[in-house]
Amino acid sequence: MDKYEILKKHFGYDTFRHAQETLIDSILEGKDTLGIMPTGAGKSLCYQIPALLLEGITLVISPLISLMKDQVGSLNQAGIHAAFLNSSLTPGQYMKALGYARAGRYPIIYVAPERLVTPEFLDFALHTKIAMVAVDEAHCVSQWGQDFRPSYLKIVEFIGQLPKRPILSAFTATATTEVRDDIIDILQLHDPTVMTTGFDRSNLYFGVMAVKDRYGAVRNYLETHREESGIIYCLTRKHVEEVCERLIKDGFSVTRYHAGLSDEERRKNQDDFIYDRIPLIVATNAFGMGIDKSNVRFVLHYGMPKNPESYYQEAGRAGRDGGPAQCILYYSGQDVVTNQLFIEHNQDNQELDEVTRAIVMERDRQRLKKMTFYCFTNECLRDYILQYFGEYGSNYCGNCSNCLTQFEEVDVTDIATALLGCIRTSHQRYGVTVILDTVRGARTAKIRDYGMDKNPYYGTLEKVPIYRLRQVLNHLQLQEYLFVTGDTYAVVKLTEKSADVPDQEERIMMKLAREVERTAKTQEAGKKKRKSYGLPADTDFSEKEETLFERLRRLRMELARAAQVPPYIVFSDKTLTHMCIVKPVTKSEMLTVSGVGEYKFEKYGEPFLQCITAFKKETGR
Ligand code: ADP
Ligand code: MG
Ligand code: ZN
């Protein structure tokens, strides 16, 4: 078999995506290879297909158990023998899997990095032909990455011990130059082929909303997207609990996920979501790595993540099938503070030495700043992200909230003057909370103790909503009228620029997105409601085709249940959509549908053919 036959037969696709072929050819020529492609671009195939063509075993290094399980599950469904070796196996299962591996049963084996240099694994690896080591999520080797894992450094140690150096390939979705250079240096790639593909995911709509009532905004969104599958990310477990509870009260079918739940509940909730039993999941960032659910139609962020890498990765879980999907971030000023706390108390960094920890922390702070700017930029949001990853966009994408909504120039001079005045007259001694409480005229013991109720600006901004005050304060920080010290007691200080603010002629203008609190009804009015769950909104389907889609979806659900796999592993929404258009009634017609390969056809093809044939008879075509 050649690479095209494998692509068709095992994966059911006719053509390689841009870059996949280059990367695969490079590996097959025996060259070290680095692929930098965004989430959903199809990195797995780039090492899986060569693994089937190379003589010897391919080891895939992957950071997470769930990631390995998902991938191995998909491979087995595609008729490829693969296994994983990690701490989720009992010692008995582990030895058994190693035994099969020794017997040459698996062309592809997923291994956790910390396993590599253990005596049992080395004993196996030193007596087997290892054709390639593929490092997935390779940014984990870099301190510049958002997800540095010291155990990834064991990869180099491991390769050094092998009698013959295998081909090395590495893949990541993080495209900053620092990370790329680190991967090449640390993994010691030999003159690698490096391929970076466009990070743009044009099917994703990006939006930022700074709203007063965050929960209300999310609920409104969900009301207009009933029956679609989506993820709602929260910053903290507490938020997950709150949001989930309120949504249940408001009548939504929703589940939750965070690290505080028992393993069992997490597994169950995750499965309910993946298997389409429950369309919505409220989760912390603990959820999602390795989740390849392709029909996620939206990812809402109830709170700003700690850096653009995390945001793009989490948001990128929407629309993996290539259909239109939405990514909306609901920002609140408090998010910055929460993230600052996360950075300071990051447990993951405990194993690092002091110097490294300080470096990592500083980089984390820089990234948080970039993330905050994303929430305030007036430029095209897509462009902002692409620039962050070192690409140049077109300034205007027409598919983000900044490109689409009209911005309002708001004169915030009065608010700014009062805030700066309050900071100045209290001798730059206090933090954000005291300043805001003062101008709002709060009657707290703290304010009285500090004598801030005597401050000339006390209560002067009583009527301005707190979120607007935070927005202006943030704006002043971004415009360098003030800064917040990084000490244990964060204090707001003025800059040279703010020295003459109350007297200057110049007005302080701020671009704020016009707040349209659209109700569920008005949004729905312009849009024909689609019954079909997860059907891409722009699919031009007749009513008949919608009925067919619905039937195929139900059939998929039954088959998935019987096989105990998630529905998208049977066929993706995109494949079902394509089926509705092609309406195949023979095997060869069915094989032209994108995502249907020989193996999938063997397993699931017949019932789908029958379903379509019956439908065609009924509708007289
Ligand atoms: P990544 O690891 O880059 O985030 P994956 O390897 O998980 O992405 O692939 C994302 C999705 O794209 C999967 O559903 C996969 O089956 C699909 N895919 C990969 N290559 C192709 C292709 N050539 N044609 C169509 N779909 C593809
Ligand atoms: Mg991947
Ligand atoms: Zn845009």
pLDDT tens-digit map of 451-489: 999 999 999 999 888 878 887 887 888 788 898 886 667
Closest CA to 570 of 555, 582, 585, 549: 555
pLDDT average, residue stretch 581-592: 89
Residue 526 has pLDDT above 50, yes or no: no
Q: Any idea which ligand is nearest the CA of 35?
A: 1
- Is residue 194 within 8 Å of 384, Cβ to Cβ? no
Q: Any idea which ligand is nearest the CA of 396?
A: 3
Q: What percent of the chain has pLDDT over 90?
A: 55
pLDDT recorded at residue 394 = 61
- Is residue 532 within 8 Å of 556, Cβ to Cβ? no
Give the helix/strand (H/E) hosting 243.
helix 237-249
Report the alpha-carbon distance of residue 463 to residue 308 in Å, rounded. 34
pLDDT tens-digit map of 276-325: 999 999 999 989 876 778 899 999 999 999 999 899 989 999 998 888 99
pLDDT tens-digit map of 51-108: 999 999 999 999 888 789 888 988 998 999 999 998 889 999 999 999 999 999 999 9
CA distances from 201 to 58, 322, 477, 519 (A): 30, 8, 31, 29
pLDDT tens-digit map of 418-446: 999 999 999 999 998 899 999 999 999 99
**Span of 535-544, 549-558, 598-607 with lowest mean pLDDT:** 535-544
More confident residue, 94 or 577: 94
In eight-state DSSP terms, residue 407 is E
Is residue 205 in contact with ligand 1, taking CB distance under 6 Å? no
Query: From ligand 3's centre to the CA of 397, what distance in Å?
Result: 4
Report the alpha-carbon distance of residue 294 to residue 325 in Å, rounded. 11
Query: From ligand 2's centre to the CA of 321, what distance in Å?
Result: 14
Is residue 320 in contact with ligand 1, taking CB distance under 6 Å? yes
Task: Transcribe 324-346 into DSSP letters.
Answer: -EEEEEE--THHHHHHHHHHHT-
Q: Residue 409: pLDDT band by 50, 70, 90 thresholds? A: confident
**Close Cβ partners of 347 (under 8 Å, ≥ 6 residues apart):** none
- Protein residue whose Cα sits closest to atom 17 of ligand 1: 42
Residue 609 has pLDDT above 90, yes or no: yes
Query: From ligand 2's centre to the CA of 268, what distance in Å?
Result: 23
For the record, the structure tokens of 210 come out as 């700074």
Is residue 21 in contact with ligand 1, taking CB distance under 6 Å? no
- Protein residue whose Cα sits closest to atom 27 of ligand 1: 42
Write the single-letter amino acid at 327.
Answer: C
Provide the 10 A C-beta neighbour count for residue 312: 25
Q: pLDDT averaged over the chain? A: 87
Is residue 294 in contact with ligand 1, taking CB distance under 6 Å? yes
Closest CA to 559 of 536, 576, 584, 543: 576
- Is residue 307 within 8 Å of 146, Cβ to Cβ? yes
Query: From ligand 1's centre to the CA of 19, what distance in Å?
Result: 12
- Is residue 58 within 8 Å of 101, Cβ to Cβ? no
Is residue 18 in contact with ligand 1, taking CB distance under 6 Å? no
- Is residue 324 within 8 Å of 203, Cβ to Cβ? yes
- Protein residue whose Cα sits closest to atom 19 of ligand 1: 42
More confident residue, 614 or 569: 614
Q: Which of 44, 136, 570 to mutate to test the pocket of ligand 1 (most atoms within 8 A of CB)?
A: 44
pLDDT average, residue stretch 601-618: 93
Is residue 373 in contact with ligand 1, taking CB distance under 6 Å? no
Is residue 536 in contact with ligand 1, taking CB distance under 6 Å? no
pLDDT tens-digit map of 147-206: 788 899 999 999 999 999 999 999 998 878 888 999 999 999 999 999 988 788 889 999
pLDDT recorded at residue 407 = 57
Residue 524 has pLDDT above 60, yes or no: no
Q: Which atom of ligand 1 is nearest to the CA of 13?
A: 24
Q: Any idea which ligand is nearest the CA of 393?
A: 3
pLDDT recorded at residue 159 = 96
CA angle centred on 134, ends 129 and 140, rounded to 5° = 140
pLDDT recorded at residue 421 = 92
pLDDT recorded at residue 406 = 52
pLDDT recorded at residue 513 = 54
Residues with CB under 5 A from ligand 3 (ion): 380, 382, 397, 400, 403
Q: Any idea which ligand is nearest the CA of 40?
A: 1
Is residue 78 in contact with ligand 1, taking CB distance under 6 Å? no
Q: Any idea which ligand is nearest the CA of 594?
A: 1
Q: pTM score, two decimals?
A: 0.62
Residue 520 has pLDDT above 50, yes or no: no
Is residue 383 in contact with ligand 1, taking CB distance under 6 Å? no
Using the CB atoms, write b or e for 592-602: b if 16+ within 10 Å: ebbbbbbbbbe
pLDDT recorded at residue 528 = 39
Residue 402 has pLDDT above 60, yes or no: yes
Residue 245 has pLDDT above 90, yes or no: yes
- Is residue 90 within 8 Å of 163, Cβ to Cβ? no
